[in-house]
Amino acid sequence: MTKLFWDIKRDMDSHQYQQILKALELSRSAAARLLGCSQRTSSRYWSGQLKVPAAKAMLLRAYLDRGMRPVVPKWRPKRR
């Protein structure tokens, strides 16, 4: 049976965030680039200081459920 997008669990605690990043082989900084947030915010999700928003939790779970590995480019400083 195919899991539908709206069947994906929407909440995520810090332990689940840590486990999913490990399963997707993402660092906190790579996850920040993928999710469009700062490294500090990703670290706060990791430590449990902030709750992972539903849309970001669903995106990470969709990658995992589909067996996909997100391709996140390395960070490069902006050139002036």
| Cα–Cα separations (whole angstroms), residue 38 to 54, 57, 65, 75 | 17, 16, 25, 12
Handedness of CA 32, 38, 39, 45 (dihedral sign): negative
Q: Which amino acid is at 23?
A: A
* Range of the structural domain that residue 55 is part of: 9-66
**pLDDT tens by residue, 2-33:** 666 666 678 899 999 999 999 999 999 999 99
Residue 42's CATH number: 1.10.260.40
Q: Is residue 80 part of a domain?
A: no
- Asked if residues 34 and 20 have their Cβ atoms less than 8 Å apart, the reply is no
- Which of 16-20, 50-54, 60-64, 72-76 is the least confident region? 72-76
Q: What is the pTM of this model?
A: 0.82
Q: Is residue 58 part of a domain?
A: yes
**pLDDT tens by residue, 41-57:** 999 999 999 999 999 99
Report the pLDDT averaged over residues 74-78: 77
